[in-house]
């Protein structure tokens, strides 16, 4: 039987509760695609970069729990670029170095690290075309580190960009935290948020991650409930 899945990441991955409803993280949506017997331990937290996640001992907490045969899903990039915040900002060389620390934690415990590039932000600059390169050099830096360290990479950034562009500006709004005034009690003034996800978005982008696991094959595909159905369900991708 496959091991547990540990998530390290930010608010786009986090396990939310009723206090932030309807906001949901990809880690929540992932539950629909992963075999029931596989436990998911979600350590993702709002606003974290690789730097702050490590400095707050969150990676150390994973090290204390993760064991042989487990998986460590590593998704960062939204907050590492925030140069105005020295507690979170991570230069590209430091980002690569930090990713290596996550890999070391997994491999020192005989677990399997997986890099996942950050979810694309829903920013349509002219109402038709997505803004280019919203995450700067960080997705490419993660892919380069994956190649250097022989870590599999699921390029969620590229997949989500392609899907959002295909869906279009208006049709994609419902997947993100774009809320009308009075629609939810906790957001009486409404919200215009094109980074964080509603549950529908968490499921949709988790499905892209699941597709990435399918394409990695072998032990990664074995995590999925019904991989053949998933990969052939293109009309809903």
Give tens-digit pLDDT for 75-90: 999 899 999 999 999 9
Domains of the chain by residue range:
5-236
Is residue 11 among the annotated active site residues? yes
CA–CA dist 116, 19 (Å, integer):
27
- On the question of pLDDT at 73 being above 90, the answer is yes
> Model confidence over 133-174: pLDDT tens digits?
888 899 999 999 999 999 999 999 999 999 999 999 999 999
Looking at per-residue pLDDT, the higher value among 229 and 84 belongs to: 84
Which of the following is catalytic: 11, 24, 52, 172?
11
CA–CA dist 13, 178 (Å, integer):
18
> Model confidence over 8-49: pLDDT tens digits?
999 999 999 999 999 999 999 999 999 999 999 999 999 999
Binned at pLDDT 50, 70 and 90, residue 56 comes out as very high
Arithmetic mean of pLDDT, 225-233: 74
∠103-106-109 over CA atoms, to 5°? 140
CA distances from 47 to 13, 23, 34, 55, 170 (A): 11, 14, 26, 13, 27
Residues contacting residue 76 through CB under 8 Å, at least 6 positions apart: 8, 9, 10, 48, 49, 50, 53, 95, 99, 118, 138, 142
Which of the following is catalytic: 37, 189, 200, 215?
189
Which of the following is catalytic: 43, 78, 135, 196?
196
How many CB atoms neighbour CB 29 within 10 A? 23
Whether 90 contacts 78, CB under 8 Å: no
- CATH class label, 5-236: alpha beta
pLDDT at 2: 65
């Amino acid at each position: 039987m496959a091991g547990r899945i540990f998530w390290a990441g930010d608010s786009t991955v986090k396990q939310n509760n009723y206090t932030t409803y309807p906001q949901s993280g990809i880690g929540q949506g992932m539950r629909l695609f992963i075999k029931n017997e596989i436990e998911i331990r979600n350590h993702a937290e709002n606003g974290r970069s690789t730097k702050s996640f490590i400095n707050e001992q969150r990676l150390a907490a994973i090290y204390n729990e993760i064991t042989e045969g487990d998986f460590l899903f590593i998704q960062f990039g939204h907050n590492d670029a925030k140069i105005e915040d020295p507690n979170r900002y991570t230069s590209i060389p430091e980002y690569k170095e930090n990713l290596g620390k996550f890999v070391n934690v997994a491999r020192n415990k005989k677990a399997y690290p997986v890099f996942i590039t950050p979810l694309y932000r829903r920013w349509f600059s002219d109402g038709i075309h997505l803004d280019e390169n919203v995450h700067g050099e960080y997705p490419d830096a993660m892919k380069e580190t994956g190649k250097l360290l022989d870590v599999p990479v699921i390029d969620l950034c590229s997949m989500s960009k392609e899907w959002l562009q295909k869906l279009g500006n208006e049709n994609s709004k419902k997947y993100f935290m774009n809320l009308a005034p009075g629609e939810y009690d906790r957001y009486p003034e409404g919200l215009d948020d094109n980074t964080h996800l509603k549950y529908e978005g968490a499921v949709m982008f988790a499905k892209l991650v699941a597709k990435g696991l399918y394409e990695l094959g072998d032990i990664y595909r074995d995590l999925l409930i019904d991989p053949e159905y998933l990969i052939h369900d293109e009309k809903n991708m």
